[in-house]
Amino acid sequence: MELPLPEVLQTVAQFLPSCKDFFAFVHAIPQSHLTRPLQNLLDLAKQIDPLELWPAPIGIDDITDEDIISLIQPTLCLYPSITFELIHDSFFDHLIPSTNVHLKHILYHPKQFDIILTHYRQYTTTLGLDLIENSSRQYTPSDIKQLSHALPQLPKLENLRFDVMVSWDSSVLDCLLSAVHFLHLKSLKLNFMEHNGVIDYDSVRYLAQCIHIPFLENIKLYGLSVPSNDICIARALINSLTLKSISLRNCNFINHFFQLGGHLPKQLKRLIVHFSESIDLEMVAQTIADSNVQEIEFVFQSDQVFQTNGVHTLTTTIANLKHIKSLALGRLQFDETSIQSLTQIIPRLGTLRLQQNGITLEFLKQIATVLPTSSHLHTVQLSHQNIGNEGATALSAALNDRNLKLYLNGNDIGPLGAESLTSVLDKSLILNLDDNPLEEEGCLTLINYLVDHEDTECALSISNTRMNHSNGLACWYALQDLAPRISCLFSIAR
């Protein structure tokens, strides 16, 4: 059974004045009922903050561009920042002359870039070249060069990101980096994940120079491979006088970054590292010691086995950081001593994200003892720890009066755990129970609790919960009782 598309759009229109409610409605449609374009919209919605960005539902079958424009035009002025997934060129042509919305985020497409330069040259502060999944649109080296030559024509541009599948040969990268030198960028993201090969020496040095441009505060480098033993990029990062945020994912120079023997830049507030090679934890601890960093995210290789002393040294060092407010550790196996260090950190944190750390029920109970008194804590993620129903019960007892965003996906929580977590729904802002065997009983327990408690505004996500098609429909019918006051996110998949 599929919902008639015009009816879907009519209902969407009722919720457009509130971004949160709009996304809530989209999430409330079971995935089996979504057309492919609406599913693309749902996928995009999961990646952005719905309170700030709003993607137009472009490219929906059997609906003309004019229909969509008339649907969304009255509400465009409500949003200071809009992301468009540009599917139909004609939509963009219609929209540009008819709105004065201040566009801050634009998904670049070669055919529209001249229009962007003409109409929004003085307003564009952020430009993103994004690879949209399931899209036939691919970017060529000539596209990148064309964009690079035009970048200096955007005088307000502060944030530039490249998330595309493109061959980063030296001519393409050098063309882009030469343009970057003329910009007053605050943020730069370059994604080399799809590039097979090593960046040559000259391009590496050119990129190192860009790291030192005067206003750059945030840099993200993904999948960058430099020549073996080249420390040029690592040295530029560790010696930066402006960078406040460094994010490195699967780059082959990460070990060099921690081997240089220096300390993090004094002004650095955020350090995010996803390791692609084995790493010495004591060396990592030495680098971050006595730093002013406030946010740390380390995700290690799944197959690396760490020495106990290394884990202890790292967790103790983090516990001694004076300004730490956010901590994320992935694939780092804890023991009794490291859990004790962790419990010392938690009361000072606003965000705690732990994934695949082998946290046992006993370790979880130790963590739960400090949660009620951790007044700054607003986000807790304990993913893929296999804490089960008993762990869910322990957490619900510790958190039943806290306003939290709680992520418990992949924890083998069943119907009994779901029942205990209903007490969390009253206060939590988000409860994510994806990839748990809740089955029909657990899902309906959670949904019916929301139906019976009208003041609850928790965003609930329950996808991949071992339900068959008929069970999914039963939950969908239960969700319809929430329609007059949708403020919760549901993503129900078989």
Rounded to 5 degrees, φ, ψ at 406 are -120, 120
In this model, does residue 147 exceed pLDDT 80? yes
Give the lowest-confidence range in 13-22, 30-39, 168-177, 440-449.
Answer: 13-22
How many residues are recorded in the chain? 494
Task: Provide, for the chain, the percentages of residues in helix, strand and coil under a 3-state DSSP scheme, each rounded to the nearest 5.
Answer: 45, 15, 45
User: In CATH terms, is domain 386-494 a member of 3.80.10.10?
Assistant: yes
In this model, does residue 282 exceed pLDDT 50? yes
- The one-character DSSP state at 73 is G
In this model, does residue 265 exceed pLDDT 90? yes
**Contacts for 390-393 with beta carbons within 8 Å, 24 or more apart?**
390/361, 391/361, 391/364, 391/417, 392/416, 392/417, 392/418, 392/420, 392/421, 393/417, 393/420
Class of 279-373 per CATH?
alpha beta
Q: Where in the chain are the domains? A: 143-152+163-277, 279-373, 386-494
List, for residues 67-108, the tens digit of each pLDDT value.
555 544 444 444 444 444 433 445 555 555 444 444 444 455
Rounded to 5°, angle at Cα 253 from 177 and 300: 120
Q: Are 263 and 287 in contact (CB under 8 A)?
A: yes
pTM for this prediction: 0.81
Read out DSSP for 136-168? -----HHHHHHHHHHGGG-TT--EEEEE-----
List, for residues 457-483, the tens digit of each pLDDT value.
788 888 788 765 445 556 656 665 554
Tell me whether the CATH fold assigned to 143-152+163-277 matches the one assigned to 279-373.
yes
Among residues 91, 82, 176, 94, the alpha carbon closest in space to that of 124 is found at 82
User: In CATH terms, is domain 143-152+163-277 a member of 3.30.565.10?
Assistant: no
CA 330 to chain centre: 15
List, for residues 2-18, the tens digit of each pLDDT value.
444 444 444 444 444 44
